[in-house]
Every structure is written in structure tokens, then in C-alpha cells.
Amino acid sequence: MMHFFATYGTQLLSKTGQHLYISAAALLLGVIVAVPLGVLLTRMQHGANFIISLAGVLQTIPAMALLAMMIPIFGIGSTPAIVALFIYSLLPILRNTYLGMQGVSPTVKDAAEGMGMTWWQRMTQAEIPLAAPVIMAGIRLSATYVIAWATLASYIGAGGLGDFIFNGLNLYRSDLILGGSIPVILLALIVDYLLGKVEALVSPRQLR
């Protein structure tokens, strides 16, 4: 283990940074798009199930195939990887946002309206805070997926910890495979833990 760090320590830090950058960018885009869209779908009489199903279909595309589809459009590197992982991150966040908003009690909505709240105030002060635990569960799930799938970004020159894993597979080097796999697992666990803390902070006190 010490020999591995002595030999590859600098590369490990660099690859971990690349992995975090790709994963964080894709997840952030997923949150920016999927949360508002999920909220909007709860206000649509028709089309919600179709859009959620469409996001589900996109997620069934094999990761390598989706990455390959990005190359003619975005070339190689981190950009196609981020776009592909963004597509994969959509479904859990979109579905949980929609279900969380739908699960808010009609009594709460009526009470907020009766208090004279505007549409924006009802959304930001009542409905979204109550749906926050379900929404955050979707974000945590997407974060785990994205960190795991980001290893495949190595195939299109995006770097990341996948470089260690695939180099190890090509060279039959178990130390390289473990040197890439273990940090990915640790990253997923740490990010899930941190997002769990965020979930506790944004959840209404009575639901904690």
C-alpha cells in the first residue's frame, strides 16, 4: 500500500480531482434541471408520466453507448462525460421531486393558500420544504450513481479514477484496479454521508 502511494500518490490526487469535477458538474446540472422540472410536472394535468418515462428510457441506454454517442457532438474529454452523466442523473431526482411534491398534504396547501400566500411563497415556504427529504433522497441516489459511472469516462479521455481501473485491467495489475476502485467507493460513501447531513438541515424540524 505504501509503495502504491509512493509511486502513484500524485496521480491519485489528480485523478480523484478529475473524478470529483466530472461527478459534481453532472450532478449539479441534474439538480438544476430535474428539481424545477419535477415541480413543474406536479402542475401539469397531462404529460408528467410521459416525461418521467422518457427520463427512464434515457437511463436504460448502456453507459458506454451513451458516451460513444456524445463523441460526435462534443468530442472527447470531460464535456461529453459530464453531459452523459447528467442524463443518467435526471431520473432519480426528477421522479423523487415529483413524488415528494405530490405527497404534500392537500390540507397544507389549502392552509397556505388560506393564509394569503402567493404561489411562490407556497412553493418555497411550504411545499418544497415538506418534500425536501424525498427530493434529497433522489439527489443522494443520483450522486452515488454518477460517482460510480464516472469511472467509464476514462474511455473517452475524461480522466478520473477509471484510468487506474482500466490500466489495471489492461496490464493485469490488481494494485491499479484496487487503487482506482477503493477511492471511488470511499467517495460515494463520503458524498452520501455529506448529502445526508444536508438532507437533515433542509428537512422541516418535525420530520427530522
The correct CATH number of 10-207 out of 2.40.10.10, 1.10.10.10, 3.40.50.10860, 1.10.3720.10 is 1.10.3720.10
pLDDT at 45 over 70: no
pLDDT at 208 over 60: no
pLDDT at 178 over 50: yes
Give me the helix-helix angle, 2-41 and 128-149, nearest 10°. Answer: 140
pLDDT at 93: 94
CA distances from 29 to 9, 14, 87 (A): 30, 23, 9
Distance CA 3, CA 9 (A): 9
pLDDT band at residue 85, thresholds of 50, 70 and 90?
A: very high
- Tell me whether residue 9 is exposed, middle or buried, using C-beta atoms within 10 angstroms of its C-beta: 0 to 12, 13 to 18, 19 or more: exposed
Distance CA 188, CA 111 (A): 40
pLDDT at 1: 65
Distance CA 98, CA 36 (A): 10
pLDDT digits (tens, 9 = 90+) for 151-169: 988 888 888 888 888 888 8
Q: What is the mean pLDDT of residues 186-206?
A: 85
pLDDT at 205: 63
Instruction: Output the pTM of the full model.
Output: 0.88
Domain-by-domain residue ranges, the chain?
Answer: 10-207
pLDDT digits (tens, 9 = 90+) for 92-120: 999 999 999 888 887 877 787 778 787 78
Rounded mean pLDDT of the chain? 86
